Amino acid sequence: IPILPGTDSAVALAMCNYILNTLHVYDSLYLKAKTNLPYLVVSNGRYVRDKDSRKPLIFDEREKKVKVFDDPDMAYEDCSLDIECEVDGKKCVPAFMVLKEHLKKFALEWASEISTVPADTIRRIATEWVENAKIGSTISIDGKSFPYRPVSSVIFRGAQGHTNGIHQVAAIDLLSELVGAED
């Protein structure tokens, strides 16, 4: 798909917005187990931390209470990605909710203007990305079960080889993170 060089991040961010806020599809188990998106944050964006250990806090959906992120009595599947709660009188939400809200400003039309890729094409590619990620599928290798996510975003010198290239890399990498296909 032809794209104006250097505008990869605009398309990637618009795809992420569409995936999370329109399609509402993502690998929640991966996000809970392998990212900091369940960590609770306050309005200034800082993590809410345990007073004693200083470890980030998360919300345990099963027990309906706040815990440190590595509590040995909690399975990662039980932490919440989308709850509002209070800790010490301060309203908190998981970082995932902050990400979803942040991505709303990256509309398909916005990315189309910047990148020259038509909004319908970005929408189609985002939909195909999610469909082909096969979220929830597994594959058996030598008798062990692994997540099966047959999508990949590969970044070489194009996106990372210029000023602020790390921002392009992070935006493109987020596409993989959302569907559990990191690395």
Asked if residues 65 and 74 have their Cβ atoms less than 8 Å apart, the reply is no
Taking the model in full, what pTM does it have?
0.92
pLDDT tens-digit map of 125-172: 999 999 999 999 999 999 999 999 999 988 876 666 777 788 888 999
pLDDT tens-digit map of 65-115: 999 999 999 998 999 999 999 999 999 999 999 999 999 999 999 999 999
- Tell me how far apart the alpha carbons of residues 74 and 164 are, in angstroms, rounded to a whole number: 39
Asked if residues 17 and 178 have their Cβ atoms less than 8 Å apart, the reply is no
Per-residue H/E/C for 55-82:
CEEEEECCCCEEEECCCCCCCHHHECCC
Q: Which residue has the tokens 């040995």?
A: 72
Q: Can you name the residues that pair with 114 across neighbouring β-strands?
A: none
